[in-house]
Structure 1
Amino acid sequence: MKVLITGCKGQLGNELRLSCPPSIEAIYTHSTELDITNEITVLSFITDFNPDVVINAAAYTAVDKAEADKDAAYAVNAAAVGYLAKACKQNNVRLIQVSTDFVFNGNSVDGMQLTPYLPEDTVNPLSVYGDSKYQGEQLLQQEMSDKADSFAIVRTSWLYSSQGNNFVKTMLRLMNEKDHLGIVADQYGAPTWAANLASICWQLAQRADLNGIFHYSNATGSDQGISWYDFACGIQVEGIKQGLLNATIPLNAIITADYPTPAMRPAYSVMNCSKLNQALNIEPNDWKESLAAMMKQLS
């Protein structure tokens, strides 16, 4: 099987490279090798390489920056996905697209959402980032509307890894630099180690019978998920245990209003992952165990 990976220098792209099954011939591309925002280039590249599957790990992920950099966000997260879908359709190639929990707004009709989101639940993004990723989903489905057995969309959340910029590495740095930190405690979701997500993508690449929209994140043991504050506390505990932190510091729970950002975040974006877990016959990865494994790499 031949697989084309986009965004190979990102968190997911790096983990895909590290975990590529030996039976797969993979080619890894960055924007310098394949500009996915150029429709002609995308079609030519996919036609020439002739892969069986494309895993699109490329994305514009600067959530706050996207509010002022809309054109770039929509070019990468929306238009480019449409180009990939069109080229894949023309060449009879399966497409695995990675999306986000930020397509949801965190609110039910009566207020705060309290039930993990199913893949078929109504979306309502609050930010440019979330909307651009949703538009990408829409363009993919429109392009492949008559080939519904040729794509899988995987929504994930709170992605982190030992590579690149992410919440875990930022917290470790700040915990070593500051004498206290305030962490938002009223936004709930679920972390996802990129290595776990990479494994899911490889499995989906080899399962042409699994199509449509799926959710994947690490398990938190509660429908409520965890808050960023809970996540930070877990990072500190594990950081001390593995020698990545010199000492504990006070972590103060704050509310979203205390830490305004350009982009709005969903107050609740826990996703129901049972559809994918059952389809692949896998047990969900516990968030604390995955965090410990990733931080062991750092140490």
Structure 2
Amino acid sequence: MKKILLTGGDGFFCTRFAKKYNTSYKILSTDVPELDITDETKVMEVFKAFNPDYVIHAAAIASTDFCNNNPEVAYSVNVTGALNVAKACKEVSAKMVFISTEQVFNGTLESGPYTEDDTPNPDTMYGKNKLEAEKLLKEILDEIWILRFTWLFGLPERNCGMSPNILWNTISIALEGQRTKVTCNEYRGLTYVHELIDHFSKVFNIPYGTYHVGSHNNLSRYDVSCLILKESGLEERVDELIERDTEKYRDHQRDVRLCTDKIRRYGIEFSDTKDAIKKCIEEFKLKI
């Protein structure tokens, strides 16, 4: 049985990944208590002890505000930590999957969707960290997949990590009953986390390189929130719960959509965001 080591193991993606594949692979899921990725010596010790075939490096500080306000801490985790993991992968001959982000394009003036050949231009510290790590990791490892994720969404599950996402944020607005502004000037891919995880083992069989991963989407963030409420049976409460925010990103529309045609050519395909939201709501029996 092949062995997979996860970093960021307590997070939104990795907890669900471990549950899905715990009988298909021998999985060591690590987070800060088990493995501080900024400690190069400890990283090497853990990797040598487990001797993984694959490493999925998902550990990161992803909060945009925190990274902007604490650049040195962010760099130590998002860049130096990633390099420590890559060096350990090289030492034990493990293949690495590096989870990157659509945010490498969030300062790009041209509209998306962006391909892997488009030039990234991040304007946040998190996006800059990820882009720098991508470059440096490729200097250490040949056997590496760099996956730039779109924004994942899903619902709370027992014994699984949770993070803010478009679906749960919108449902929370309905639960709290407080009218909230939602921007109509932001466009991004929004991917159902379980659809991504169901495909994930296929990644190990595609050529090494950089891939954009997730759903295509042509709806604004406001339109997606409206869709979620309607599909949840709350269509009559849309105007009560959300308000169109025309000011945020007014001067420059935020568009970080990714073109995922490259990875689709290898049989890793995703529903568009509209269908993926409907699928998630149906699977969790969320409709009122």
TM-score (norm 2): 0.87
Structure 1 unmatched runs, 5+: none
2:197 alignment partner in structure 1: 198
Q: Distance in 1 between matches of 2:284 and 2:74?
A: 31
> What SS does the corresponding residue of 1:142 show, helix, strand or coil?
helix
* Pairing 1:156–2:142 present: no
Please tell me whether the aligned partners of residues 105 and 125 of structure 1 are also in contact (alpha carbons under 8 angstroms). yes
Are the structure 2 counterparts of residues 256 and 39 from structure 1 closer, same or farther at C-alpha, using a change threshold of 3 Å?
farther
- Following TM superposition, where does structure 1 have runs of at least 4 consecutive aligned residues deviating by more than 6 angstroms? none
1:105-125 C-alpha deviation (Å, 9 max, x unpaired): 3534xxxx2342111221111
Secondary structure of the corresponding residue to residue 97 of structure 2: strand
1:125/1:258 Cα in 2 relative to 1: closer, same or farther (>3 Å)?
A: closer
What do the CA deviations read for 1:153-179 (whole angstroms, capped 9, x no partner)? 000112222241213212211223235
Superimposed CA distance per residue, residues 80-99 of structure 1 (whole angstroms, 9 cap, x where no aligned partner): 11111111112111000111
Match of 1:171 in 2: 170
**Where does residue 244 of structure 2 map in the other structure?**
253
1:271 is matched with 258
The 1:103/1:54 distance shift into structure 2, 3 A limit, reads same
**Deviation by residue 1:169-198 (Cα, 9 ceiling, x = unmatched):** 122112232352211111111101222222
Q: Please state whether the residue corresponding to 1:55 is helix, strand or coil.
A: strand
Q: 1:175 to 1:48 in 2, by over 3 A?
A: same
Q: Distance in 2 between the 1:257 and 1:289 partners? A: 27
Write the distance in 2 (CA, Å) between the matches of 1:229 and 1:69. 30
CA distance in 2, matches of 1:44, 1:275: 36
Give secondary structure in 2 for the equivalent of 1:120. Answer: coil
State the shift of 1:292 in Å: 3.1
Task: For residue 66 of structure 1, report the CA deviation from its aligned partner.
Answer: 1.7
The Cα offsets for residues 5-46 of structure 1, whole Å up to 9 and x where unpaired, read as 111211111221122163311111121111111111111111
Q: How many aligned residue pairs are there?
A: 277
Q: Could you say if the C-alpha distance between residues 107 and 258 of structure 1 is closer, same or farther in structure 2, counting changes exceeding 3 Å?
A: closer
Aligned to 1:86: 87
Counterpart-to-counterpart distance in 2, 1:104 and 1:176: 33
Partner of 1:219: 216
Distance 1:128 1:74 in 2: 8
Report the counterpart of residue 159 of structure 2 in structure 1.
none
More displaced 10-residue stretch of structure 1: 116-125 or 64-73? 64-73
CA distance in 2, matches of 1:298, 1:30: 31
Q: Counterpart in 2 of 1:137?
A: 134
Query: 2:199 touches 2:268 (CA, 8 Å); kept in 1?
Result: no
* Residues 70/201 of structure 1: CA separation in 2 closer, same or farther (3 Å cut): farther
> Residue 21 of structure 2 aligns to a residue in which SS?
coil
Query: Matches of residues 1-299 of structure 1 in structure 2 within 5 Å?
Result: 1-20=2-21, 22-105=23-106, 107-108=108-109, 113-144=110-141, 148=142, 150-163=143-156, 164-167=162-165, 168-204=167-203, 206-207=204-205, 209-220=206-217, 225-240=218-233, 247-248=237-238, 249-257=240-248, 267-279=254-266, 281-295=267-281, 296-297=283-284, 299=286
Q: Deviations over 1:100-146 (max 9, x none)?
A: 010013534xxxx23421112211111011111112212211212xx
Cα 1:39–1:102 shift into 2, 3 Å: same
* CA spacing shift, 1:282–1:266, aligned 2, 3 Å: same
Residue 49 of structure 1 and its aligned partner are, at CA, apart by 0.5
User: Unpaired runs of 5+ in structure 2?
Assistant: 157-161
Using CA pairs below 8 Å that are at least 6 residues apart, which structure has the higher relative contact order? 1
CA contact (8 A) 1:5 1:13 kept: yes
CA distance in structure 2 between the aligned counterparts of 1:17 and 1:5, rounded to whole angstroms: 9
